[in-house]
A and B are shown apart, each in its own frame.
Chain A
Amino acid sequence: MSRRWIYLAMTGLAVFFLFPLVFMFVSSLKPDGQILSDVGGWRAFLPVGDISFRNYAGVFERVPVGRFLLNSLLVTTVIVGAGLVINSMAGFAISRMRWTGRRVVLSVVIATLIVPFETIAVPMVYWVSQLPTLLFQNGRLVYDFGWLDTYEVQIIPFIANGFSVFLFAQYFSTIPAAIDEAARIDGAGWFTIYRKIAVPLSGPAFATVAILTFLPAWNQYLWPSMVVQDENLRPVMVGMQYFFQDTTAWGEIMAYTSMITLPVLVVFLAFQRAFVSSVAASGVKG
């Protein structure tokens, strides 16, 4: 097959995979009635008919979208950042350090992957509502019980992640043990070995974990629905439900999804090459 045909086929596939995004963006410019009428044919993918940015204006009237985006950005950034540090340290301890029971610990960590989050969500709400917390009230440091309605309740339960620990442990185990031994002879402690040897040699693992942690953190819906009552603390995905009233505002949904997908898309396109190579190098399938 000539190169031209291969490129043609690949372009066709690329266009095909772009259909959902094109549909989303084009529909965000149409009124609800037209979206539903166009949906059966090619017009669904074309900016034709009554085109305007009214749906975008409607989104801002209905949802504090800027606030929701900021909240998601904060929650996701901290989960990913802290998760990379803590899970990689745990993976390092399991994979590189020799201590009794590490295999059992790794098995327990892997076992946590079997339990669906939905089954423990309600008991977790009870637990987090009983946890102590420190806060400032009228200029005084005071304590209270209950994490509901806070950022930490959206962040802390998701930092430690069994899959990330497992992935780091697996990746670190591919680094030759002789390097550790050489470093120890030179006087390095475990933290120095982790920081100066394991981390620099594990770029693909860090990138993979970052991607795999970023997406679920950005897409969080059930947990914030249960533990966040204050609108000022809600993330973007909960905002999606604002459009499902007795009649569904499809145009505004498409405008909202366009707006909240854009940051993810920009990040992905900017780091596309690094992401693809890291996923390939770590052998993780999506």
Chain B
Amino acid sequence: MKRKSLSMLAAAGLSAALVLSGCGRASDSSSGGSGEITMWTHSAGNPGELAVYQQIISDFNASQSKYKIVQQNFPQGSYNEAITSAAAARKLPCLLDMDGPVMPNWAWAGYLQPLGLPDDLIGSLLPTTVGRYKDTVYSAGYWDAALSILARKSVLAKNNIRIPTVDEPWTLDEFDAAVATLKSSYRTPLDLGAADKGEWWSYAYSPMLQSTGGDLIDRGTMKSADGALNGPDAVKFFTWFQQAFRNGWADNAGPVGNQRFIDDKVALSYTGVWNAKDALQSVGDDLLILPPVDFGKGPKIGGGSWQWGISAGCKNADGARAYLKFSFQDKYLTAFADSQVVIPATAAAAKASKYFGDAAALRQFAVLSQKFALARPATPGYPVISSTFEKAAKDIMSGAEVKSTLDTAVKAIDTDISSQNGYGF
């Protein structure tokens, strides 16, 4: 009885304290009311990129007094989880960056509002740095990435292999002959990056599929992968893909990255612009940045990197737009490009870049991006398409029967699309 009385007294005391202290609701400090605009990036752990963001934010905040950008940085590996959780809790920031191919899914899920930046600004950007979903622009990025085949001039010359150009890339027959020749000097002549995982697989290998004539999905309707991912062209590409591993031309031994090329353990490395600086430092003038192989329908590489969008619930969308417009100045785009070794989104920014200027060492990547980049299908179903593609391609690499594996993948993708009522298409 005594104990019960004590508990009741404590509870009553706490309640009274709260009432007497006039305990009111905390004032809302989230984006909106105070002109504060929250901004999330995936760039935690990337001091170079963060330094450019801090410069832009500091310049923008100093340029006017109506809005104030407040930045939060997340590590890339857990960024999507943070966004999904924040969306579930209705706590999305005003400004958020996103990987290009994910944008349609977030737009469809209602996370984003149309970007609403001026047409002339959007028109000045590389097409693959602009995220469109159902003909509406939802995101735009400061840069793009590009893939190429890295090689050594001396190795190709020694083996009498023609150096391909943007205007005259290797045909598939030429490429096969080159790799077969190099096999006599290298245990594994080609590093396709198959030790990597996740979205890399669709980013890296679906352009080869598209260059053969297939695709991840029928882009005309966005309602089925049937015919695109399991048609004759797709079977032709994946048969080649399987043979490349079976013949010992490529393997999935790793490590992920470009180290085997730097160590001269492979002759050709299918890799991204992000590895080019190290390769240039190690290989010097002997380095070749080659265009992708023409599998029959013209060379292709993946396009679409990190881009910025505005959340649907942003109370200060005008301020967010003002910030984005401010941030797309060429000087900032050049700063990102030179800090991150990525291709600037505008021609003027590329011209001013120490890596991508007219005579700069990595200029070729900008050319490849302009000529051959193809964005991944702008459908909310892309995350499922990508993971399904990865599984199918890995199975085929390991020896699975090509046609039936692709049929299974198509079924999985189509089932997902049906279960989501066509994702609004």
- Is B66 positioned at the interface, with any CB of A under 8 Å from its CB? no
- Is A47 positioned at the interface, with any CB of B under 8 Å from its CB? no
Q: If A36-B255, A62-B47 touch, does A231 touch B24 (CB 8 Å cutoff)?
A: no
Which of B169-177, B241-249, B256-264, B389-397 binds A?
Answer: B256-264
Interface residues on A, range: 35 or more
Are A135 and B259 interface neighbours, CB within 8 A?
no
Q: Which residue of A lies closest to B341 (CB)?
A: A246
- Is B374 positioned at the interface, with any CB of A under 8 Å from its CB? no
Q: Which residues of B contact A121 (CB under 8 A)?
A: 85
Q: Quick one: which of A144-158 are within 8 Å of B by CB?
A: 144, 146, 148
- Is B400 positioned at the interface, with any CB of A under 8 Å from its CB? no
Which of B75-83, B116-124, B357-365 binds A?
Answer: B75-83
Are B72 and A225 interface neighbours, CB within 8 A?
no
CA distance A123 to B85 in the complex (A): 9
Q: Which residues of A contact B272 (CB under 8 A)?
A: 246
Are B89 and A247 interface neighbours, CB within 8 A?
no
Q: If A33-B259, A129-B91, A226-B82 touch, does A245 touch B21 (CB 8 Å cutoff)?
A: no
**Per a CB cutoff under 8 Å, which of B22, B47, B72, B256 touches A229?**
B72
**Per a CB cutoff under 8 Å, which of B18, B21, B78, B88 touches A125?**
B88
Are B89 and A146 interface neighbours, CB within 8 A?
yes
Most buried by B among A146, A227, A241, A248: A241
Are A137 and B27 interface neighbours, CB within 8 A?
yes
CA distance A174 to B47 in the complex (A): 57
- Is B23 positioned at the interface, with any CB of A under 8 Å from its CB? yes
Closest-CB distance, A62 to chain B (whole angstroms): 5
CA distance A248 to B263 in the complex (A): 17
Q: Which residue of A lies closest to B263 (CB)?
A: A37
**Per a CB cutoff under 8 Å, which of A32, A141, A146, A229 touches B40?**
A229
Are A244 and B76 interface neighbours, CB within 8 A?
yes
- Is B278 positioned at the interface, with any CB of A under 8 Å from its CB? yes
Are A135 and B26 interface neighbours, CB within 8 A?
yes
- Is A264 positioned at the interface, with any CB of B under 8 Å from its CB? no
Q: What does the 1/0 interface line of A119-148 toward B look like (CB < 8 Å)?
A: 001110110110000110100111110101
Q: Which residues of B contact A129 (CB under 8 A)?
A: 88-91
Q: Which residues of A contact B262 (CB under 8 A)?
A: 33
Closest-CB distance, A283 to chain B (whole angstroms): 36
Are B85 and A125 interface neighbours, CB within 8 A?
yes
Q: Which residue of B lies closest to A225 (CB)?
A: B78
Are A125 and B89 interface neighbours, CB within 8 A?
yes
Q: Quick one: which of A229-246 are within 8 Å of B by CB?
A: 229-231, 238-239, 241-246
Q: Which residues of B contact A141 (CB under 8 A)?
A: 18, 21, 23
Q: If A142-B23, A144-B26 touch, does A241 touch B88 (CB 8 Å cutoff)?
A: no
Q: Which residues of B contact A225 (CB under 8 A)?
A: 78, 81-82
Q: Quick one: which of B374-404 are within 8 Å of A by CB?
A: none
Q: If A143-B26, A238-B75 touch, does A63 touch B89 (CB 8 Å cutoff)?
A: no
- Is A39 positioned at the interface, with any CB of B under 8 Å from its CB? yes
- Is A50 positioned at the interface, with any CB of B under 8 Å from its CB? no
Q: Which residue of A lies closest to B74 (CB)?
A: A229
Q: Quick one: which of A67-106 are within 8 Å of B by CB?
A: none
**Per a CB cutoff under 8 Å, which of A37, A61, A137 touches B47?**
A61
- Is A222 positioned at the interface, with any CB of B under 8 Å from its CB? yes
Are A142 and B47 interface neighbours, CB within 8 A?
no
Most buried by A among B22, B47, B75: B75
Closest-CB distance, B83 to chain A (whole angstroms): 10
Q: Which residue of A lies closest to B84 (CB)?
A: A122
CA distance A146 to B30 in the complex (A): 12
Q: Which residues of B contact A148 (CB under 8 A)?
A: 86, 89, 91
Q: Which residues of A contact B282 (CB under 8 A)?
A: 33
- Is B284 positioned at the interface, with any CB of A under 8 Å from its CB? no
In the A-B complex, the 4 residue pairs with the closest CB atoms: A242-B45, A241-B75, A129-B89, A225-B78
Binding site for B on A (CB under 8 A): 32-33, 36-37, 39, 61-63, 121-123, 125-126, 128-129, 134-135, 137, 140-144, 146, 148, 221-222, 225-227, 229-231, 238-239, 241-248
Task: Offer 13 A-B interface pairs, CB within 8 angstroms, sorted by A.
Answer: A37-B259, A37-B263, A39-B255, A123-B88, A142-B23, A142-B27, A148-B89, A226-B78, A227-B85, A229-B86, A230-B72, A244-B45, A244-B76
Add 8 more A-B contacts to A33-B282, A123-B88, A229-B82 (CB < 8 A). Answer: A62-B47, A126-B88, A129-B91, A140-B22, A226-B81, A231-B73, A245-B46, A246-B272
